[in-house]
Amino acid sequence: MNINALEKVALSVRTLSMDAIQKAKSGHPGLPLGAAELAAVLYGEILKHNPANSKWADRDRFVLSAGHGSMLLYSILHLSGYKLSLDDIKSFRQIGSKCPGHPEAGATDGVEATTGPLGQGVSMAVGMALAESMLAAHFNTPEYKVVDHYTYALVGEGCLMEGVSSEASSFAGTNKLGKLIVFYDENYITIDGSTNLAFTEDIAKRYEAYGWQVLRGSMYDMEGIAKLVAEAKKDTDKPSLIMLKSTIGKGCPLVAGTAKAHGAPLGPEGIEAARKELGVPADADFYIAPEAVSYFNEKKPVFAAAEAEWKKTFDAWAAKYPEKKAEWDAWYADKPTGKAEFPVYNIGDSLATRNASGAALTAVTNEYSNLVGGSADLQGPNVTKNGTKDYNPENRDGRYIRFGIREFAMAAICNGIALHGALRPFCATFAVFADYLRPALRLSALMKVPVIYILTHDSIYVGEDGPTHEPIETISALRAMPNVQVLRPADAEESVEAWKIAADTKDKPTCLAFTRQNLPVFEKEDPDWRNTIRCGAYIVKKGGDKPDVTVLASGSEVSLALAAAQLVTGKTVRIVSVMDRELFKSQPATLRNTIIGGAKRVVAAEAGTKMGWEGLATDESCLFCIDRFGESGPYAKVAEAMGFTAENLAKVLKG
């Protein structure tokens, strides 16, 4: 290990970081200054990676969970040879920059995950380690290890305060994810000051209780860090937390060790003091030590050789196991490896859409052998047991994941699985508990990863569990999030189509909302409805070429609308099932008008808040929705008590 060269790498990380932040007049210099040595030794000596190919399948992953310290990552990516130029560094936090304020997957070569919302990064790292263990169990053979890499993350106090990291760390310990190594930047400082203001527990004991191996060292002992990583790797049954004592803002004497270093540029005086302390020329903007450049130039063939050696192993494996190679290609392309046999339903069949979802999930599982997932301790109510074996430390090749009652971590872990590649994740809970996982769903949308969210018990028809479990605003809130596909099917047949759409969607997460109560399979007058529904809505009951009233209904309210229409005399009523409201709203006006049929009055019916339906319904009087919390009782009685009945909808239709 060339300590002198690595020290120059760490120096260059500091200078690039502080100058980029100063130029942007915005950013967080404390972490890059305080953890530069870790970046240097990690990317120079520890990681199995090849900057010339950031998508090498068997590379080690690194997630900067403390994403506010993004310049640490950008600096070391530039220095080590990833496709990130010095001009990119100089445009930190500017519009269109490859160096956004917090790391974004897809925006910057070498960035594995979008981080910044604290705690989610390490939780996604758990998902990546989980994916590695699944793929290793499935593809490795006695002679060849084509999947054999580690997942690393860097966390700060903020990550460990956020509850999602506790959920994910508990999951990782329970599942003995021994190839997960997390570094803890132990500097005892947050924005408000010392961590003692709000954070006093014994982190080591906490992680030992989770089932982790806990090791300690100094952020500034690079040989020591390498030895700690080697020690961590010896325990294959425990993830490792390596606690590294550090000084926030190290190198700038005006702010080092204080909260002032955390979230603001150093300022001209701070930059001047830092350059003097670090021994670089006073006028050396964006200084890079020549020794750092030479070091990584010498490393280029070493990095390339690591990938080339793996490629030799991979090619030999592929030649001996062509069926596995074909499956590998399909998994990484997210293509079917089998044929789905979806259930067929008859008009008049009655079943909850959650049950129809369960049958469709099993079909999709048979079609996509890379589909993995589970629920937040709600396998029965969510109907998610799909005929696959459980994943656990004794069976890494299992496809059903027991997430436990950890909705937020469940979703973040699924993001990590999706980001890793080769596996397609789903997760499930009650619709109302989407609020627990919402921040991770937001990152799914931002990162454009196709995680499938199964959300059952989708309305007041939950019944006896009462208003705490009866979603009112939930579906509307999910629809309000950009790049989230929300599908609320109206019967078993639509549920099958919803699953097909979810499986076909590759660039965004999908939320599937299903009922607890039984719904009838109804006749559909659009003969091509299975294709039309991909526009977001289709005609269930035509009601003539120019209906008097058109009802736009979603989910269980389509059946309610059909029942209400039978109570209306003297007017023609068209019923439209709107499975994907936001997609329907985005269609050209001519298409929307064709489906609506030019009706004088358009009524929207949904057992939830009216938010978002206003632009489709004719006026306020045409919104048959619910803008109050529910009641506890048998679901039919709850609907009656809240006035949400076919009779009352019929009154609205009559006008």
Catalytic residue list:
407
The tokens describing 537, both together, are: 């809505």
DSSP secondary structure code for residue 113 in this structure: S
The residue among 323, 309, 307, 308 whose CA lies nearest residue 141 is 323
What CA–CA distance (Å, rounded) separates 440 from 410? 9
User: Is 386 exposed, middle or buried, given 0-12, 13-18 or 19+ CB atoms closer than 10 A?
Assistant: buried
Residue whose entry in the numeric block shows the structure tokens 């120059």:
8
Q: Max alpha carbon distance in the chain (Å)?
A: 89
List all residues 6 or more positions away from 111 whose beta carbon is below 8 Å from its beta carbon. 73, 77, 103, 104, 105
What CA–CA distance (Å, rounded) separates 513 from 457? 8
- Our measurement of the distance from residue 16's CA atom to the centroid of its chain's CA atoms, rounded to an integer in Å, reads 30
Cα dist from 92 to 97, 98, 590, whole Å:
6, 8, 44
| 8 Å CB contact between 147 and 176 | no
Q: Are strands 549-553 and 601-605 parallel, antiparallel or unpaired?
A: parallel
What CA–CA distance (Å, rounded) separates 614 from 604? 8
Element (DSSP H or E) covering residue 600: none
The phi and psi torsions of 475 (rounded to 5 degrees) equal -65, -40
- Our measurement of the distance from residue 229's CA atom to the centroid of its chain's CA atoms, rounded to an integer in Å, reads 28
